[in-house]
Each structure stands twice: as structure tokens, then as C-alpha cells.
Structure 1
């Protein structure tokens, strides 16, 4: 399921991804107006994910005092931490080739935008299989907003007990509150 979703996303022409990302940004504008976060975690675009950097720059510029943060992998099987990001901050590459802030105090963002490869309406997602976001969401208190393209929506991601659902899902088609039920996850195998 993960590989299929990645193939679909990579098959989108760059221009199409850019248009879909603009639509996604308009929906995020409305959601952020409701949530009113002072700090926002987001991810540097990776493997044809929505590139939200321009949207984040605009969000930062819209009100003084706002803080954007990027995740930093400190240890392979540990929760990530978040460091403040502004355009121009030094950004070395991590072991996956993803830029991250080189220094700074860690913070917990009020809202965290989490990339979606595949996702279901209950808020469960498939990332890249490393478990970084699941471990992180298990130990921080934040509003998790899954962000991705509609082509990644599936009926069921077959979540395991350790999987953490998103609170909201945002795509180019709109924003929905995740529909969690007591039976949303399956026991670990």
C-alpha cells in the first residue's frame, strides 16, 4: 500500500503537485484560522510530498511572534525533537538527506503538519515505515494534522496498536476531522 501510494505521487507532474499544494494551502489557511497556533511544526518536502515551505513563510509573516519548526532525528529509534526554522537558518542534511536546523532549543509545536503517503478517514497514515512520527506523537501534546494529496486516501491503512492517528486530515480536496472509533486500531502482530 505504501509503495503504491508513493508511485502514484511520484507519477504526478511537478506542475500538478504545485497546483494541488496551493489548494492544500488554502484549506490549511482556514484550519489555522480556527486552531490559532503560535507555533507550527512542518516537514521539509521529501519524495514528491507537498512543498509547504512557501505556505509556512506566509503563515510566519502574517503575524508577529509565530514560530515554525522542523523535526530533527536525534536517535534512530527515539522520538524526534523540533527546532525553530526561519528562511536562511543553517540546515545540514540528516542521514536520509533531509535538511534540518543545525542548532537551537527544542520546542513542542502547537500544531504539527505530518506528511501522508497513504491515509484513511480515521486519521491513520502510512509514512515511510520508520515510526518516527508515531514515537513522537506518543510523547508530545500537539494537534496532528496529516497533509498530503487526495490520491493517497485508502479505505483502511490497517493500523497497528503503536500507530498514532492524526486529529485532522488536509488535502487539496479539503480538511476533515479524523473519524476515530474505539476499534480504530488492530493489535500488534
Structure 2
């Protein structure tokens, strides 16, 4: 990916839209197969990491739907908490979620828990529109995850999650970008200590 010039469109924006379109074009059967494989890989990674509070995102624009995988993780033992991001004046925080949680429309009309019960995840499942071999991800350009990760202490473990079609050679990371600890696709852990 080459840097933008005054006469050319932003290459990150062009890449983002191209890969979102490709993701949304996946047929139902392939999406289900990929999602099931991702859920298996995440289950093994979560078992090794043993987090108490897992943050994840409601599926948006064809992203991997992690709701069933997170619900299965929740059911796997006592004391586990799942949470969804809520965008607020400070940037972003996470609110506790369970499969029976009443939801309401949040920013960008993405569902958020109607009752805001703030929790701090110790592991985040972060959607990726694109990723490279160094663990950098391309989100939607708002910087919510990067700004939040920069201020959270201790910083949660980060696991980028997406389909393998999101892999690119080099995202040309910017100064504020924070790489993921792992990235998981239907092909397994493709970035991280055991990749």
C-alpha cells in the first residue's frame, strides 16, 4: 500500500471499502464455514489465555459474528463476563452483555446494552477490515480502539478477528496505531506468538 498524494484518494480508505465489499460479498455457506472455524480457533486461544472479561463487537458491515462463540465461552465457566463497546464522550468503554441482554441503538445504529454496566475487559476481540503480518489492523478510521488502548492500564490482550481475505502485505502503520497481540482468521492464529 503506498502513501496518499494530494491528487490521489486516501489508500487506507480505498482499501477499507474494497475489503468490506469483499467481506459482504461472501456467500452464506462460506461465511458460516469461516465463522465456525474462527470460533474453534478462538475457543482454544481463550482457553489458553483464561480471561475473566472478554470484550467483543456486535457484527457490522459483514464482520465475523462472534455472538454465538462468546455466548459459548460465557457458558463454559462461572465468573465470566462478556462486554460490548459503547462510544461516549471520553471515547469508548465496555458494557456487560449476555445473550438475553436488552439492546438499544448506539452510535452508528450499532446495538449496545440498554443498561450500561461498565466493565474493563482483560481481553478484546477486535474486528479487522485489513491486517498485516506485524499485527496492525485497519478499522473504520475513528481511532476508538487505538485511543482507548493507549490510555487503559493495564492494557488488555488484543485479538484481531477477521476473514483471511483481509490480509494485506503492509498497512503502513501510523504513529498512533497499536498492533494486535494475535490475529485469528478461519485459517487459525495467523499473527502472534504461536502463529
TM-score scaled by length of structure 2:
0.87
User: 2: CA distance between counterparts of 1:103 and 1:80?
Assistant: 16
Match of residue 55 from structure 2: 41
Cα drift, residue 79 of structure 1: 2.7
Residue among 161, 169, 177 paired with 1:147: 161
Residue among 122, 126, 146 paired with 1:110: 122
Residue among 144, 163, 170 paired with 1:132: 144
Q: 1:20 touches 1:172 (CA, 8 Å); kept in 2?
A: yes
SS where residue 105 of structure 2 aligns?
coil
Residue among 84, 93, 116 paired with 1:70: 84
- Measured on the aligned residues, the alpha-carbon RMSD in Å equals 1.3
Match of residue 6 from structure 1: 20
The alignment of Structure 1 onto Structure 2 pairs a total of residues equal to: 177
User: 1: CA distance between counterparts of 2:20 and 2:54?
Assistant: 25
Whose strand fraction is larger, Structure 1's or Structure 2's?
Answer: 2
Match of residue 11 from structure 2: none
Match of residue 35 from structure 2: 21
Match of residue 175 from structure 2: 161
TM-score scaled by length of structure 1:
0.90
SS where residue 60 of structure 2 aligns?
coil
Cα drift, residue 177 of structure 1: 4.0
User: 1: CA distance between counterparts of 2:20 and 2:117?
Assistant: 33
Q: 1:79 touches 1:139 (CA, 8 Å); kept in 2?
A: no
User: 2: CA distance between counterparts of 1:137 and 1:14?
Assistant: 33
Residue among 38, 46, 49 paired with 1:32: 46
Q: 5+ unaligned residues in a row in structure 1: which ranges?
A: 180-189
Match of residue 68 from structure 2: 54
User: 1: CA distance between counterparts of 2:29 and 2:144?
Assistant: 30
User: 1: CA distance between counterparts of 2:172 and 2:28?
Assistant: 30
Runs of 4+ with deviation above 4 angstroms: none
SS where residue 83 of structure 2 aligns?
strand
